[in-house]
Amino acid sequence: MQDLFQIYDLDFNPIPLPKDELGYGLKGMGLRTSSVGQEATEHSMSGWPGNIITGVRDTDRDMSLIAWLESMDNTDFLLKRDSVYSFFKRLGSFYVTETRQGNKLMKVKVVEQYAPEIHGGVQTLTTFDIPLKIDGQPYWISRFKSMDLHKSGGVPFNDYWSFGMGLDVDKTTYQYSNEKEFSIYNAGTVPLKTIQEKDNCIITIEIKQSVNNFRLYDATGRYFEYNPMKNDSWALSAGNKIILNGHYFTMNHTPILERTNRYFINLLPGDNIFKMEGLTNYTITFDFRFKYD
């Protein structure tokens, strides 16, 4: 029987469920997951009945692992039960996915108590419902990044991508050079606010000319600007490399947030038209994970 959920460590390496050499142990029956909850901001108006919802914020979702534990005998059951407890405690935070769409992952941790359910007094075949606590945002993320698509020149026929991930075979370019305007396709269903996406969304700008400042406009019409004060001591030259990684802005490994207008790029679901102003000789790379409700 194939396990119906898969666990990965924080480096996205698969981790097998605890089983012995005879195949006895924990077997994945499924991953139970709810929709994302929302918290509403409400206001009342004097003289008007009811409340007006002025905004919502995504909060959390419920998740649990459904598994069964097969043991050789009642003594082996005790050993297998304890190995399950030790396994999840030792794991700490980890990623989990449903095997049948195995490239959308959620970062979680086991923090609540749980115990096997014994049916009819038979200990050799018991079930677990293991509650999960989401570690971070309540969204699925893609196991692989946009540059994995770019380097493949399209959607490859491997196990990196699953059905239902919103990919477009004609929109897999995530690196451009010397373009005044270009498009970046976000196949996810959730907007990416780069300030929240350290290591999951890295924008690299390789400078190949001498220039004092530049602007990069995103699909919202707002822009990231380098050196808005036009400070000559901050001028760029060929060979400089600017990296935008979450709230960390660096150039050649030196922090440069104070040299910018402190705007963090947004990537909306679907096509994102970017415009470059002030740079004509450069290469820009977008390497990010897609995010899903």
Q: Which of 95, 111, 134 is the last residue of a domain?
A: 134
Question: Is 20 contained in some domain?
Answer: yes
52: CATH:
2.40.30.200
d(CA 100, CA 3) in angstroms, rounded, equals 10
What is each CA distance from 183 to 78, 130, 146, 218, in whole angstroms? 57, 43, 13, 10
Regarding whether 167 and 33 lie in a shared domain, the answer is: no
Per-residue pLDDT band at 281 (split at 50, 70, 90):
very high
Burial of 2 (0-12, 13-18, 19+ CB in 10 A): exposed
pLDDT in tens, 204-247: 999 999 999 999 999 999 999 999 999 999 999 999 999 999 99
What is each CA distance from 127 to 27, 76, 161, 188, in whole angstroms? 9, 15, 31, 34
pLDDT in tens, 133-176: 999 999 999 999 999 999 988 777 778 898 889 999 899 999 99
Regarding whether 188 and 117 lie in a shared domain, the answer is: no
pLDDT at residue number 162: 85
Per-residue pLDDT band at 49 (split at 50, 70, 90):
confident
What is the arithmetic mean of pLDDT over 36-45? 82
Single pTM value for the model: 0.90
Residue 2 has pLDDT above 90, yes or no: no
Question: Is 139 contained in some domain?
Answer: no
Residue 12 has pLDDT above 80, yes or no: yes
Regarding whether 105 and 212 lie in a shared domain, the answer is: no
Regarding whether 240 and 148 lie in a shared domain, the answer is: yes
pLDDT in tens, 79-119: 999 999 999 999 999 999 999 998 999 999 999 999 999 98
Regarding whether 180 and 53 lie in a shared domain, the answer is: no
Q: Which of 70, 100, 134 is the last residue of a domain?
A: 134
Regarding whether 128 and 12 lie in a shared domain, the answer is: yes
Name the domain count of the chain: 2
The range of the structural domain enclosing residue 29 comes to 5-134
pLDDT at residue number 245: 97
Residue 249 has pLDDT above 90, yes or no: yes
Regarding whether 184 and 93 lie in a shared domain, the answer is: no
Q: Which of 134, 152, 170 is the last residue of a domain?
A: 134
Regarding whether 151 and 126 lie in a shared domain, the answer is: no
Question: Is 53 contained in some domain?
Answer: yes
Question: Is 57 contained in some domain?
Answer: yes
Regarding whether 109 and 175 lie in a shared domain, the answer is: no
Regarding whether 153 and 16 lie in a shared domain, the answer is: no
Regarding whether 189 and 96 lie in a shared domain, the answer is: no
| Poorest-pLDDT segment among 12-16, 40-44, 84-88, 252-256 | 40-44
